[in-house]
Amino acid sequence: MNTIEETLWNYIDGNCSPDEQKAIHTLIAGDEAYRLKYQELLKLNTEFSAMELDEPSMAFTYNVMEAIRTEQAQQPLKAAINKRIILGIAIFFVLTIAILLGFVLSNIQLSAVTVATPAGLKMPEVNTYFTKPVIEGFLFFDVVMALYLFDTFLRRKSQPKEI
Amino acid sequence: MQSKLSDIALIEQTLGGNQSAYTDLVKRHQRFVFTLAMRFAKSREDAEEIAQDCFIKAYRSLAAFQGQSKFSTWLYSIVYTTAMTFLRKKRLDTDSIDDENIYIQIENNTSGYDVNNAENKSRSFYLNKAIEQLLPDDATIITMFYKGELSLEEIGQALGMEANTVKVKLFRARQRLKEKLERNLKHEAKELI
């Protein structure tokens, strides 16, 4: 049930429909009780609107920005560095090396290459080092490492991001 | 000019790495945020702590602000939750404001002030005193409505309530504020109101 006060506050705040507004307007014009209450509430409304805001200390803004700066400075370097920059640098080096390698390989004339070994130098027999068990062991190690890295990658991906 | 930029433009600049844009945002909203914090904390030191905390939290989650509501509405919701957390931490007895004994203490303070500083009596003084005596929720809704330039819907968004609930709460808060004003001013209230 709407009291006179509630109805009048709605009218003052502009929360009434046009029909309601018209009806209340008529009531204020014709009914003394409504008119007096309306004037009282209107004065209160003006009073409340004139409420003053409090002022924080002079150093408030500085303190906020300083706190933000301190927080950023305390961030671990890993989180502060933009991953795109790292990726960009990596792409630059890979491209440079690839271009250089391509240039060098395209300019080599293998037929013109003659390797002159010094008279007393004995070249080691590579075949003695790269035996079947060594190659198998190496491949096994590679597979284990690849599985370990893949597992780490999946674990990191499934972890929820911190807000 | 930087100060003429909208909140959204300042947020974009801040996200682009321009920290001075955030300084402007803080300067623009600090008075209102501090006033809201004062509605909960009652001491300037605590209110500054709450307000500062709000701006830091807002900075941290600025990228998450999607611009669907006004920045001020979003910021005031942070103020509200931060202040509520602060109150919980401090274990302030918010209901005690309505306690008659406490009220008498506040009233005595006011009357003491009246005797010694009669010349300082002003409308805003009495209004501020009355607001201080309100429950934090009432004081917040009244402050948001009259000084925050927020609609009932926006206040509802900031406080996590329906607009209709805000409307009812605003009505009750205004009634209580009027009562406090009248009690504080006693006979003078008649002149003021």
What residue ranges do the domains of chain A occupy? 4-49, 60-158
Q: Name the residue among B151, B167, B7, B170 with its Cα closest to residue B75.
A: B7
Residues from chain B contacting residue A52 (CB–CB below 8 Å):
124, 128
How far separated are the first and last CA of chain B, in Å rounded?
A: 43
Q: Is A53 on the interface with B (CB under 8 A)?
A: yes
Task: Report which listed range, A115-129, B8-22, B82-96, is most confident.
Answer: B8-22
Domain boundaries, chain B: 2-90, 94-192
Closest Cα in chain B, distance from residue A65 (Å): 7
Closest partner residue to B174 among A9, A54, A60, by Cβ? Answer: A9
* Confidence (pTM): 0.64
- A78 vs B153: CA distance, rounded Å: 42
Chain A interface, best mutation among B65, B75, B154, B193, by max A CB count within 10 A: B193
Q: Give pLDDT tens digits for B98-154.
A: 444 444 444 444 444 444 444 445 677 888 888 888 998 899 999 999 988 888 999
Q: Which fold has domain B2-90?
A: Rna Polymerase Sigma Factor; Chain: A (1.10.1740)
Residues of chain A with pLDDT > 90, as a percent, come to: 36
pLDDT of residue B101: 46
Closest partner residue to A53 among B31, B142, B178, by Cβ? Answer: B31
Residues from chain A contacting residue B146 (CB–CB below 8 Å):
48-49, 51
Residue A77: pLDDT band with limits 50, 70, 90: low
Is CATH 1.10.10 correct for B94-192? yes
The C-alpha torsion from A62 through A66 and A69 to A71, rounded to 10°, is -140
Q: Does A15 contact B30 at a Cβ distance shorter than 8 Å?
A: no
Q: Does A60 contact B52 at a Cβ distance shorter than 8 Å?
A: yes
Q: Give pLDDT tens digits for B31-60.
A: 999 999 998 887 899 999 999 999 999 999
Name the residue of chain A whose CA is nearest to B167's CA.
A10
Q: Which residue has the higher pLDDT, B99 or A49?
A: A49
pLDDT of residue B26: 93
Question: Helix-strand-coil percent breakdown of chain A, rounded to 5?
Answer: 70, 0, 30
DSSP A160: P
HEC sequence for B123-135: HHHHHHHHHHCCC
- Answer yes or no: same fold for B2-90 and B94-192: no
Which residues of chain B form beta strands (DSSP E)?
Answer: none
Chain A interface, best mutation among B24, B28, B29, B30, by max A CB count within 10 A: B30
